[in-house]
Structure 1
Amino acid sequence: MRAIVTDGSNTVWEETRDRPKPAAGEALVRIRAVGICGSDIGLIHGEGPPWTRYPLVPGHEVCAEVVELGSGVDSLEVGERVSLHGFIYCGGCTPCRTGRYYQCDELKEIGFTIDGGYCEYASFPAETLRPLEDDISDVEATQIDSAGCTLHALSRVETTFTDTAAVLGPGSLGLFGVQLLRAQGVEDIVLTGTRDERLRVGERYGATETIHVHDTDPVEALLEYTDGEGVDLCVETAGAGDVVNTCLKATKKRGSVVLTGVFDGSRAIDPNDIVAKELEVVGGVTAAHAVDDVAALFRRGDLSVDGIVTHEFDLAEYESALDTVTNRDDGVIKAVLRP
């Protein structure tokens, strides 16, 4: 089978590998579609999380079809379509026993420590695979993990119908964030970013105001929009630039800041912004417990990938696909590979 591999030195190559056999507790799947996440680009450049293990087949935004079951697997059926949530955890450490399995002391993650979905076939632990309903498309299935990241983070703070929220970054996480806030009843949503075409997609999904941060200082614009008070909730999804400081300075007293972006390094902040305004600041990572809710939102039309997943490539075109995403060519927001 074909597999795409990186060693974290800005190098990607194709290998021919034996088709894997499922071990006990695993399912062999045929990859139907796999999203190219911004963190995949980071992996290629050696910017993965500390637990990354190279060389590696990237890819955690997976839709697949079950081909063969290992012994002891009775939760799946051959021929079933599945989505992936990539955390593998011990179940016995303190984080696991308190429900925070995604912070497991022995955490493994498909696409980061274990080979992921940039290939034709893979064997994954059965517990990481969720059977898909017929009315969820392959492309929607690839984004269940991505949308789940934003949903999990937003679930850590309270929102009300009268809130004004700001979403920083009109990539997939941010555009799902706009949709999720609308689904929660928040109707006053400001979206900030650097690309007009992405901001327009956000307007389609319910952003009531957009700010192009190359044209306008986002802090000044958000304060002006709220008559100097600041927003009730600021959701950071960009993982780049000075967005953390933007959140801290543009959020009102006793407001909430949600951080979901994965940064390439540390950032300097003024902690007095948090102390003086008594801000609630939370982080969020993708979480398996969010996937059922995300699937339900896709099924009832409160989440969509229209205008978010903009490009599809054959797996053999991986170089062109990765270049397109890295350089943000041709209006790409999210691309998927089709093995």
Structure 2
Amino acid sequence: MPPTPTTSSQAAAVLSGPGLLQIQRRGRPTPGAGEVLVKVHSVGICGSDTAYFNGTAAYTVQEPFVMGHEASGTVAELGPGVSGPAEGTAVALVPSLSCGSCEQCSSGFDNLCRQTRYLGSAAVNPHRDGALQEYLILPASHVLPLPEGISLAEGALLEPMAVALHAARKTAVADASVLVVGGGAIGQLTALAARALGAATVTVADVSSRRARTAVEHGADNGLTTAELAAHLAGGGNFDVVFDASGHPAGVEAALKAARPGSGRVVLVGNLPAGSGISFKHISQSESWVTSTLRFAGGLAPALDFLLEHRLDISWLVEQTVPFGEILGAFAAPAAGEAPLKVHIHFTENTSSPTTTSKRTQ
């Protein structure tokens, strides 16, 4: 049942079709029993958000909805029966809402629940609105208080960190030679997690030499361009564990080729475009062990605990911050150079403004 709006209003970025993004005025909702109202602070733009905007996502946008699932904010109001967290508490938003009672949920695989409704997702009907709005209601169980020393920007990075950590824990990486194909945000975080989990060596490969170098600057042993990786593999080089975080068929093929014959393990993390396939011959010819991941299980607390335990800094991933009122800039192709690792949409006190319409220009 949708929340009941109050007389107050808020701004929300509403996507109604490819390239059609509008900042609209909506009623500000009131939290019900067991819920909290969060004032949104930072929202990360994910590849899935970009795919929705570009019309290339696996799920078609069938009705106007609000994107955004990597988010943080502060508690603005508690619903009836909720004792905390207290108003004003900085929190990360847990985006995955599973049923909690099916076989998957009961077995610790809540990420595989068939009833999951993810923030900012068009995979369900009706679509579930996400965090690209000033205020958002969540179950009280789905806000994670941030300890002192963890910024709201870092709080909005906990979702991709959880994805990467779930992938890195999918198979044993301790004392293994690890390759991460794809140096985007998830690839960088997967490399960081593998290093913290005891990998012998960590190599990151990307089409971008800058992203490959960035990985080395933040703990990877080696950074390779895709051409350099191809030459390395042609010379007989292989890896014990390979993660594909590229989300591209060519990246998956490179990952499968890179696994050590007979004992190599491959974890597919990136989301391939709809209709993409993988080459089975590279699996059969090397008898590789291949698996995949879907988001993460257990909420965001494991990712936060991991950061605190290993004293990891991930704030450097945010290479661009865009005011909410200029949100279209977060989806525009860069005029020069390459896209930032992570773009954050930032809500300010004066976010509220007259209704504006943004439309992609061809």
Fold equivalence (TM over 0.5):
yes
Distance 1:302 1:134, change over 3 A: closer
Asked whether the 8 Å contact 2:160–2:186 carries over to 1, the reply is yes
Asked whether the 8 Å contact 1:7–1:44 carries over to 2, the reply is no
Percent identity at matched positions?
27
- Alpha-carbon distance between aligned partners in 2 of 1:120 and 1:269, rounded to the nearest angstrom: 41
Residue number among 129, 133, 141 corresponding to 1:119 in the alignment: 133
Structure 1 segment 266-277 matched on structure 2, within 5 A? 266-277=275-286
Determine the structure 2 residue equivalent to 1:143.
157
- Alpha-carbon distance between aligned partners in 2 of 1:269 and 1:321, rounded to the nearest angstrom: 31
SS in 2 for 1:323: coil
SS in 1 for 2:24: strand
SS in 1 for 2:267: strand
Asked whether the 8 Å contact 1:8–1:47 carries over to 2, the reply is no
Residue number among 213, 222, 232 corresponding to 1:221 in the alignment: 232
- Alpha-carbon distance between aligned partners in 1 of 2:55 and 2:81, rounded to the nearest angstrom: 37
Structure 1 segment 25-174 matched on structure 2, within 5 A? 25-50=34-59, 54-112=63-121, 113-161=127-175, 163-174=176-187
Asked whether the 8 Å contact 1:60–1:117 carries over to 2, the reply is yes
Asked whether the 8 Å contact 2:11–2:25 carries over to 1, the reply is yes
CA displacement at 1:156 relative to structure 2:
1.4
Map Cα deviations across residues 148-184 of structure 1 (whole Å, 9 max, x no partner).
10111121111222x2111111111011111111101
Instruction: Return 271-280 or 172-181, whichever deviates more.
Output: 271-280
Distance 1:315 1:76, change over 3 A: same
TM-score w.r.t. the length of structure 2 is 0.85
Residue number among 260, 272, 278 corresponding to 2:287 in the alignment: 278
SS in 2 for 1:289: coil
- Alpha-carbon distance between aligned partners in 1 of 2:223 and 2:204, rounded to the nearest angstrom: 5
Distance 1:239 1:282, change over 3 A: same
Asked whether the 8 Å contact 1:86–1:109 carries over to 2, the reply is yes
CA displacement at 1:91 relative to structure 2:
2.0
SS in 1 for 2:29: coil
SS in 2 for 1:174: helix
Asked whether the 8 Å contact 1:6–1:44 carries over to 2, the reply is yes
Map Cα deviations across residues 171-201 of structure 1 (whole Å, 9 max, x no partner).
1101111111110111412211122222221
Instruction: Return 146-155 or 264-273, whichever deviates more.
Output: 264-273
Instruction: Return 129-138 or 185-194, whichever deviates more.
Output: 185-194
What is the alpha-carbon root mean square deviation over aligned residues?
2.1
Aligned amino acid, residue 164 of structure 1: S
Aligned amino acid, residue 169 of structure 1: G
TM-score w.r.t. the length of structure 1 is 0.91
- Alpha-carbon distance between aligned partners in 1 of 2:280 and 2:250, rounded to the nearest angstrom: 14
Determine the structure 2 residue equivalent to 1:18.
27
CA displacement at 1:132 relative to structure 2:
0.9
Distance 1:274 1:290, change over 3 A: farther
Distance 1:110 1:328, change over 3 A: farther
1:177 corresponds to 2:190: yes
Residue number among 199, 222, 235 corresponding to 1:186 in the alignment: 199
- Alpha-carbon distance between aligned partners in 2 of 1:131 and 1:120, rounded to the nearest angstrom: 19
Aligned amino acid, residue 337 of structure 1: I
CA displacement at 1:259 relative to structure 2:
1.0
Identify unmatched segments of 5+ residues in structure 1: none
Determine the structure 2 residue equivalent to 1:248.
256
CA displacement at 1:35 relative to structure 2:
0.8
Distance 1:293 1:61, change over 3 A: same
Determine the structure 1 residue equivalent to 2:355.
none
